[in-house]
Structures are given as C-alpha cells and as structure tokens.
C-alpha cells in the first residue's frame, strides 16, 4: 500500500531506453501514509524514497552485469537474467512530483527468490530463471564476503525488476539496502545450491556435517612373553 503503479506511455523525454509511445510502468510512493507533515516535508520524503528505489535497483543491475560476464565464461550456462534499469522522473505539475519509470514487462510475473525465512517460492525449483537467480544471489553473497545480498528477485522470464538489497549492519562500503539485515543470515541458512552454482564453482553455504565418533575401542593387552619353564611344560603336554 505504500506505492502505486500505473501503466503509462511515454510522451516525451530523453531517456536512452525509451522512445515516445513506449509502454512503461510509473511507480509513485503514496505520500498520504506519512501523516500530517507539511507539503515541503512530503515532497522531500517522496524524493528520498524514489531516489533510494533507483539506487537499489540500479546497484543490483551493476552486480548482475558482472555476474553476466562470469556466467558467459561458464560452459553451457546459457542465457543470464537481467535486471532492467529504472529511472527517476520529475513531474513538475503533480502534487507528488517524483516517481520512478521502467519499461513494462509483459507475461506471467513470478517471484523467484527467497525473500525471508517465511517465503520460499516452490515454482522456482524447476524454473531455469529461478535457479539462475538463486545462483546469482549466491555469487553476490560470495563476492561481498557475505556483506550484501540481492533479494526479492522477481519478474517475467529472465527480465527482473523491483528487487531488494540487504547489507550488513554497518552497510557495505557505505551503502545501505532497503531490506532487513536478517535476510542475509536467512539466505545462508536456506539456500540450496543448484547446477548453476556448480557451473560457477560456488561452494555450498551449508556447514559440513560433523563426523560422528563412536565409542573408543578397548585396548587389547599385549601378550606377555612365555618363560622357558612354561614352554617346556607346554611341550610335554
């Protein structure tokens, strides 16, 4: 309820990915939910939220570009998911002037990745896109030494949008995500490697099972050497 999405068509602008008439999705944060603040405060809050949304998605987009380069070098990896770009737009004549704009994704919208410990989409297990998304999460987690995780991965086919980022408590390299820190620990506990993790040479995040140690074997007493008298008696018998 904190954000509304509208299907729209670009009339004019200088965005590199769009031409006039291009079908888009406009997302606007709902300023009404922020209570009785004055208009100037609401505009500033609206601006901050829109900028944060762009920062998160475009940061995740840069990570998946690097992932793309690594995946292409892996034999038989195939197509790599893409996080679509998102843009900040300023609507000067609107009471809520700042919004985000992205291209419209047509088709079945699926949530692929684990968002938190309570949500696991079973559809992703048999989905190529879902498995590649989870491998991407594993790759980012490894590349950042467990300090950053791209989460809430969703979209149509290999085209993804509206993702989230969780970072360590102090933020990773000064960047704070928009998801709880606990998501990182939950991902580490829940992630199950798939064939794409293996193609990238990623090691399992699950702790290796400890070897069970059985009860100690009783020590056998070494046989005492027989005396000459014992040997002679044994020979007579």
Q: Please answer whether residues 96 and 31 qualify as being in contact, where contact means their C-beta atoms are separated by less than 8 angstroms.
A: yes
pTM check: above 0.85: no
Q: Does 133 reside within a domain? A: yes
Q: Does 178 reside within a domain? A: yes
Q: Does 231 reside within a domain? A: no
Tens-place pLDDT, residues 141-199: 999 999 999 998 999 999 999 999 999 988 888 888 888 888 999 899 888 899 999 99
Q: 207 burial class (0-12, 13-18, 19+ CB within 10 angstroms)?
A: exposed
Query: Distance (Å, rounded) from C-alpha 70 to C-alpha 67?
Result: 5
Total tally of structural domains belonging to the chain: 1
Query: Distance (Å, rounded) from C-alpha 183 to C-alpha 76?
Result: 31
pLDDT exceeds 80 at position 220: no
Confidence band for 225, pLDDT divided at 50, 70 and 90: low
Confidence band for 52, pLDDT divided at 50, 70 and 90: very high
Q: Does 91 reside within a domain? A: yes
What is residue 122's predicted lDDT score, i.e. its pLDDT?
60
Query: Distance (Å, rounded) from C-alpha 85 to C-alpha 56?
Result: 11
Between 213 and 82, the higher pLDDT residue? 82
Q: Please answer whether residues 81 and 64 qualify as being in contact, where contact means their C-beta atoms are separated by less than 8 angstroms.
A: yes
Mean pLDDT value of segment 18-36? 74
What is residue 169's predicted lDDT score, i.e. its pLDDT?
86
Q: Does 44 reside within a domain? A: yes
Query: Distance (Å, rounded) from C-alpha 116 to C-alpha 161?
Result: 18
Q: Which residues form the domain of 52?
A: 3-199
Q: Does 40 reside within a domain? A: yes
What is residue 170's predicted lDDT score, i.e. its pLDDT?
85
Q: Does 228 reside within a domain? A: no
Confidence band for 21, pLDDT divided at 50, 70 and 90: confident
Q: The domain that contains 155 carries what CATH number?
A: 3.20.200.10
Q: Does 218 reside within a domain? A: no
Tokens found for residue 17: 């990915």
Confidence band for 205, pLDDT divided at 50, 70 and 90: confident
């Amino acid at each position: 309820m904190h954000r509304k999405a509208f299907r729209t068509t670009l009339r004019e602008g200088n965005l590199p990915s769009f031409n006039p008439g291009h079908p888009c999705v406009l997302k606007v944060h709902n300023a009404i939910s922020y209570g009785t603040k004055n208009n100037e405060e609401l505009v500033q809050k609206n601006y901050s939220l829109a900028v944060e949304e762009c920062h998160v998605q475009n940061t995740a987009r840069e990570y998946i570009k690097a992932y793309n380069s690594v995946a292409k070098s892996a034999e038989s990896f195939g197509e790599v998911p893409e996080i679509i770009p998102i843009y900040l737009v300023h609507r000067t004549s609107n009471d809520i002037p700042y919004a985000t704009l992205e291209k419209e994704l047509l088709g079945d919208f699926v949530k692929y990745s684990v968002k938190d410990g309570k949500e696991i989409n079973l559809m992703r297990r048999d989905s190529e896109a879902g498995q590649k998304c989870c491998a991407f999460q594993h790759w980012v987690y490894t590349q950042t030494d467990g300090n950053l995780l791209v989460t809430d991965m969703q979209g149509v086919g290999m085209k993804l949008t509206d993702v989230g980022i969780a970072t360590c408590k102090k933020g990773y390299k000064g960047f704070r995500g928009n998801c709880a820190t606990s998501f990182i620990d939950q991902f580490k506990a829940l992630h199950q490697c798939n064939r794409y993790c293996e193609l990238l040479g990623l090691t399992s995040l699950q702790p290796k099972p400890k070897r069970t140690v059985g009860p100690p074997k009783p020590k056998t007493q070494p046989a005492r050497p027989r005396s000459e008298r014992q040997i002679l008696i044994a020979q007579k018998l």
